[in-house]
Amino acid sequence: MDRLSKEQRQRYARHIALPNFGEKGQRKILESRVLCVGVGGLGSPVVLYLAGAGVGTLGIADSDVLELPNLQRQVVHSSGDVGKPKVETAKKRLRELNPDVTVETFHERVTAENVHNLVADYDVVVDGCDNPETRYVLNAACYSAKKPFVHGSIFRYEGRATTFTYDPGTPCYRCIYPSSPPPGFLPSGAEAGIASPVPGLIGMIQVAEVLKLLLGEGDLLVGRMVLYDMLAMTFREVRIAKDPGCSLCGKEAGAGLS
């Protein structure tokens, strides 16, 4: 990329001033392409901050239309947007926030059929999904394309985050959860409730991971998972390990593209 414009130097001045960042780091961010799957609780703060940070191309995929109960935490959208596709309302807000950012929208569900094409065009994929099936699909596609996948998940007052780089010896999503729970094991957000700060905090951890991945700076949340509990006000970390018996990335795994 050419040197930053005068306006860009002002817009990103606080990044440029940072050690390990600088104008070179900001140019990397501006040249990067990040896909966020889901613009709900996690995806909303994620795409807002990635756009603010100047990620050059942001892909956003979500098949939903905005509903009123979303707005308590899905802050990229607005009250007047109810009934519209979330990818469109997010795009409008992101362009207002930062015209440097090109927003590519996919108003569709991510499936085993479309995921490989979708993921292929991006440097990093962010997990803003609301169900395990889509996470397994993205995990498999990111594993086969060797694209970093930044995981977040939330429930009531609790949230988790980790990063999968798929480097040798590091775990994937299926290493942590070899199989999916039966229907009904996990109550939906509508039944269970979700405290609005939880996706905000977890989303910011995801954004920080994305920026470090793009910059090549700092230590990533690889092989460890952060657990946030809002009521207890604790952040904990547990080790997560590669499972040699993993059906996706383990020794005995087949093509691993399911």
For the CB of residue 29, give the shortest distance to other proteins in the complex, in Å. Answer: 24
Residues that bind other proteins (CB under 8 A): 38, 40-43, 127-132, 135, 152-160, 176-181, 185-186, 189, 192, 194, 199, 227, 229, 231-232, 236-241, 243
Provide the token pair at 161. 């985050």
Residue nearer to other proteins on the CB measure, 96 or 234: 234
Residue nearer to other proteins on the CB measure, 17 or 190: 190
Residue nearer to other proteins on the CB measure, 65 or 217: 65
Spatial separation of the C-alpha atoms in residues 180 and 163, rounded to whole Å: 19
For the CB of residue 5, give the shortest distance to other proteins in the complex, in Å. Answer: 35
For the CB of residue 25, give the shortest distance to other proteins in the complex, in Å. Answer: 28
For the CB of residue 160, give the shortest distance to other proteins in the complex, in Å. Answer: 7
Pure H helices in the chain: 6-11, 13-16, 22-30, 43-53, 86-97, 115-120, 132-145, 173-176, 189-192, 197-215
Residue nearer to other proteins on the CB measure, 41 or 54: 41
Provide the token pair at 8. 């860009």
Provide the token pair at 220. 């990533």
- Per the CB < 8 A criterion, the answer to whether 199 and 160 are in contact is no
